[in-house]
Structure 1
Amino acid sequence: MHVNNQDPGGSLDPTTEAIVESGVVAVLRAASADYFLPIVEVLVDAGITAIEVTLTTPQATLAIENIARRFASNVCVGAGSVITADDASRCIDAGAAFVVSPAFVPDVLEQCVGAGVPCYPAALTPTEFATAARAGAALIKLFPASVFGPGYVRSLREPLPGLRIMPTGGIGPGDVGTWLRAGAETVGLGSSLTGDALNGGSLVELRRRADEAVAQVAGVRERA
């Protein structure tokens, strides 16, 4: 069941394939999930259908359940900031289609693999990336991405061409294309995308930022 990420032609599970196709994962992290549903509605309408709800948000599992139920097949909703196998299990039970960790936690990955749900751990060094890939991670999160820059993705993939990397942290909607051209499979966008909409702010501005991110993905894919 493990994925060999050293094989550039290796097949992807349907969830990861959909996330890679989307090019953007919207990361929702807030003091309250009160505005998550209207935010997701705007994102989906703009074409961003991969949503990560972090467990640092109060009642995150309920938010995952509500998003999964409300948007059904239109959204791929997952859980972020997952650091224990028990948390992974709770999120999967709530309807999480994928699980993201801020580090490589073997117990979390094993729990997800056993449940048939893809797990995307974070890594920084080549050794961490290779270890996560060998353990079966379908995507590996580069975090914090902005500290290293797009060139780091390119450098990692030169000796490890099969790595599937999802940079996250400090990336703006207008930067998405640069990261994809550097070799990233998809890009995680947090507060730079959601902005004040997480606190009941402008959904119009949220839509503008979402449109910019989607246009960045389209620009890269059209030239491919």
Structure 2
Amino acid sequence: MHAESANATLDLIEAGRIVAILRGDAGDADQVLSDTLADAGITALELTVDSPDAFSRIGHLVQACAGRMAIGAGTVLTVEQARRAADAGATFIVSPNRDTAVIAAAVSLGLVAIPGCQTPSEIVEAIDAGAQAVKLFPAQALGPAFVHAVRAPLGDVRLVPTGGVTPELARAYRDAGAWALGAGSELLGRDLAQGIDTAALAARARAFAEAAR
């Protein structure tokens, strides 16, 4: 059952190939934001657990986005955070680092684990620990050429470059073989607490979605 759930999550992420990263306080705009992203073709959203009321908000997003968008927890650093994410209804977790205990806990809970890695050794260790995809972070330090080079020996590993990704870079990463892309402030904006310009957000989301596919 866990495998079926994880595969469904992977399929949903792959449908849009962009993981939107929501960090901080968006006021009461979480659902407006997620609806705008989904309408533009983005099918995955992570809310970082260091955000205010993160697990409660994840629960609300899961209910609001059922069937349209995979909802995950980001910046997951501990096994307890992975458990709380699962309890809230998240279907995937993303971490900035590679912690095999967190990966194993996530997989045992039926979550897709996307740990942060930066070297071929870290990528292999993460996959061996059960991770279904790997976040290349910070992607600014690696670039599309790294994705192309590392895929030669590592084959079909799902790579998710994250950090400084723009629509232009998204195209380059996809051409290099990236499975999906993580996009934060470049997609959502830098000060969500001040309000969301839905028209501008929709335009950015469409640009990212088109570039990723």
Give the TM-score taking structure 1 as reference length. 0.88
Alpha-carbon distance, 1:40 to partner:
0.7
Q: Which residue of 2 aligns with 1:27?
A: 21
What secondary structure sits across from 2:66 in the alignment? helix
User: Where do 5+ consecutive residues of structure 2 fail to align?
Assistant: none
Q: Which residue of 2 aligns with 1:100?
A: 94
- Percentage of pairs with the same residue: 37
Q: Which residue of 2 aligns with 1:210?
A: 205
What secondary structure sits across from 1:13 in the alignment? helix
Q: Does 1:114 align with 2:123?
A: no
Q: Which residue of 1 aligns with 2:196?
A: 201
What secondary structure sits across from 1:104 in the alignment? coil
Q: Which residue of 2 aligns with 1:84?
A: 78
User: Where do 5+ consecutive residues of structure 1 fail to align?
Assistant: 4-11, 219-224
Alpha-carbon distance, 1:31 to partner:
3.7
Structure 1's consecutive aligned runs of 4 or more residues displaced over 2 angstroms after TM superposition are 31-35
CA–CA distance in 1 between the matches of 2:84 and 2:112?
15
Q: Does 1:181 align with 2:175?
A: yes
Query: What pairs with 1:1-224 in structure 2 (closer than 5 Å)?
Result: 13-32=7-26, 34-196=28-190, 198-199=192-193, 200-218=195-213
Alpha-carbon distance, 1:22 to partner:
1.4
Q: CA RMSD in A?
A: 1.9
CA–CA distance in 2 between the matches of 1:140 and 1:99?
11
Alpha-carbon distance, 1:72 to partner:
1.5
CA–CA distance in 2 between the matches of 1:163 and 1:95?
26
Summarize the Cα distance change of 1:33–1:154 in structure 2 as closer, same or farther, 3 Å threshold: farther
Summarize the Cα distance change of 1:214–1:123 in structure 2 as closer, same or farther, 3 Å threshold: same
Alpha-carbon distance, 1:32 to partner:
4.5
Q: Deviations over 1:58-84 (max 9, x none)?
A: 111111101111121111100000010
Does the CA contact (< 8 Å) of 1:122 and 1:143 recur in 2? yes
Give the TM-score taking structure 2 as reference length. 0.93
CA–CA distance in 1 between the matches of 2:83 and 2:27?
20
CA–CA distance in 2 between the matches of 1:48 and 1:71?
11
Q: Which residue of 2 aligns with 1:7?
A: none
